């Protein structure tokens, strides 16, 4: 990445802010201008929300755009920005389809979700049973997905389905984009311990997907899914680019707001958490820099695993610091609605929500396996179903 490229990205970001002040124009207009300028994902090709430069220049644009009051797009459309966009960019069948999906994704007009996990296929994702059967130029989908974040708001979903039960489980999968508003698609919110319902179960009953909405080749869905999962883990594991940003900033703010609750022991705990957060931030920065213009690899699992467990420790500190105040939570009103702030709320809600961090996007146990096998070169787990056709694998 050259100084000239950095200057170009910075100049484009300043022009977007000058022409579309995020403090005075609608969010979608501002984000649309970012996309048109190539600043949504600077490493994407021109015309698809990017400039074809190093992904390491994205913080240059983000600092100017968000410093002027612009939103953090990943927070508005997490599955869209973090997972769908890179998968579409790499595997969609044509540039026309890429542009059709990417711009409304970037503006957050179209929210996306990820339809991977099933009641019988969580950590063993390749064991999924949702079927896709060809019918002319379409595919007929039947099955059930679960723990699908934001499915109740999503326009499109990333769907992994089984197209061949006669081959080993990893080889019989195909990847699609499904219309979440289409016939045969039913979304049922799942109320969780926060009192909210950001997760969902989704049922497919003879739902139809045109073949042009297939991502990658038939039977190559596992490799396409790896694009999604590696980007998901990088997105989940990434911390703020500024020192002290991210979850740790909430703990520091809480500490500053209640001087009467401070003790030397709690001060020591907060200091240690701040140091761990800074180490994670620097690790994420190094990972982004090493990725260059390419996609993230298995090293993204480091940030995901460490970040998930660190979040839980930070919010546990917050609850301990609050003392009796920590049990005062009003999120269980049975009349509460599913709204735009499912992922936000008081510190008590964020503490409860953090329990999902070490499960979503791959459990910490799975992350340790990936790091052990693919980074450290340790022997893999014994897999009794290796090479066995999916239909012959015993299922409970």
Is residue 323 exposed (0-12), middle (13-18) or buried (19+ Cβ within 10 Å)? Answer: exposed
Return the H-helix or E-strand segment holding 264. Answer: helix 264-291
Query: Residue 338's pLDDT is what?
Result: 41
Average pLDDT for 9-26 = 97
Q: Which of 5, 232, 309, 365 is catalytic?
A: 232
In the prediction, which pLDDT does 290 show? Answer: 64
**What is the pairing mode between strands 156-162 and 112-115?**
parallel
CB atoms within 10 A of CB 381: 8
Tens digit of each residue's pLDDT (9 = 90 or more) over 204-234 = 999 999 999 999 999 999 999 999 988 876 6
Which domains does the chain show, CATH number per domain?
A: 3-106 (1.10.540), 112-224 (2.40.110.10), 229-375 (1.20.140.10)
**Tens-digit pLDDT profile for residues 234-270:** 666 554 567 888 899 999 999 999 999 999 999 999 9
Please state, in angstroms and rounded to a whole number, the distance separating the CA atoms of residues 381 and 124.
13
The token pair that represents 55 in the structure block: 């992904």
Average pLDDT rounded to a whole number, residues 329-352: 65
How far apart CA 315 and CA 249 sit, in angstroms, is: 11
Q: Which of 145-154, 328-337, 345-354 reaches the highest mean pLDDT?
A: 145-154
User: What sign has the CA pseudo-torsion 244, 248, 251, 253?
Assistant: positive
Task: Find the range with the poorest average confidence among 81-95, 207-221, 347-361.
Answer: 347-361
What pLDDT band is residue 342 in, cutting at 50, 70 and 90? very low
Predicted structure pTM score: 0.87
State the average pLDDT over residues 11-25: 97
Q: How many Cα atoms sit within 13 Å of 242 on the Cβ side?
A: 11
Mean pLDDT over the full length of the chain: 90
Of the candidates 324, 328, 282, the residue with the CA atom closest to the CA atom of residue 302: 282
Residue 357 has pLDDT above 60, yes or no: yes
State yes or no: is 232 an active-site residue. yes
Query: Residue 303 in contact with residue 286, Cβ under 8 Å?
Result: no
Tell me the mean pLDDT in the region 172-190: 97
User: pLDDT tens across 186-211, in order?
Assistant: 999 998 888 888 889 999 999 999 99
Radius of gyration of the chain, Cα coordinates, nearest whole angstrom: 22
Res. 339: pLDDT tops 50: no
pLDDT confidence tier of residue 366, bands split at 50, 70 and 90: confident
Residue-wise pLDDT tens digits, 133-174: 999 999 999 999 999 999 999 999 999 999 999 999 999 999
Higher pLDDT, 370 or 150: 150
């Amino acid at each position: 990445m050259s100084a000239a490229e950095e200057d170009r990205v910075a100049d484009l970001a300043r022009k977007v802010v000058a022409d579309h002040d995020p403090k005075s124009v609608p969010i979608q207009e501002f984000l649309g201008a970012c996309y048109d300028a190539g600043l949504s994902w600077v490493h994407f090709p021109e015309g698809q929300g990017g400039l074809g430069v190093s992904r390491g220049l994205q913080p240059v644009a983000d600092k100017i755009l968000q410093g002027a009051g612009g939103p953090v797009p990943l927070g508005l459309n997490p599955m869209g920005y973090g997972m769908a966009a890179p998968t579409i960019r790499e595997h969609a069948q044509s540039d026309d389809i890429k542009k059709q999906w990417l711009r409304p994704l970037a503006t957050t007009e179209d929210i996306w979700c990820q339809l991977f996990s099933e009641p019988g296929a969580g950590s063993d994702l390749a064991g999924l049973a949702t079927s896709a059967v060809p019918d002319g130029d379409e595919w007929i989908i039947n099955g059930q997905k679960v723990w699908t974040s934001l499915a109740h708001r999503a326009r499109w979903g990333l769907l992994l389905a089984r197209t061949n039960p006669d081959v080993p489980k990893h080889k019989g999968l195909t990847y699609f984009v499904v219309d979440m508003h289409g016939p045969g698609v039913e979304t049922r919110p799942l109320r969780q311990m926060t009192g909210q319902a950001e997760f969902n179960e989704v049922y497919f009953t003879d739902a139809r997907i045109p073949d042009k909405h297939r991502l990658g080749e038939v039977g190559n869905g596992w490799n396409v899914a790896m694009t999604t999962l590696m980007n998901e883990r990088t997105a989940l594991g990434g911390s703020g680019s500024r020192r002290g940003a991210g979850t740790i900033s909430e703990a520091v703010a809480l500490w500053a707001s209640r001087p009467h609750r401070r003790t030397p022991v709690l001060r020591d705990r907060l200091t240690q958490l701040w140091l761990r957060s800074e180490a994670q931030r620097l690790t994420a920065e190094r990972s982004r820099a090493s990725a260059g213009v390419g996609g993230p690899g298995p090293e993204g699992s480091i940030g995901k695993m460490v970040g998930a467990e660190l979040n839980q420790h930070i919010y546990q500190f917050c609850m301990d610091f609050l003392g009796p105040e920590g049990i005062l939570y009003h999120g269980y009103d049975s009349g509460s609605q599913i709204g735009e702030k499912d992922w936000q709320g008081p510190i008590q809600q964020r503490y409860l929500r953090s329990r999902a961090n070490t499960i979503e996007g791959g459990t910490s146990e799975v992350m340790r396996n990936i790091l052990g096998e693919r980074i450290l070169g340790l022997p893999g787990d014994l897999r009794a179903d290796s090479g066995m056709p999916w239909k012959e694998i015993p299922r409970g």
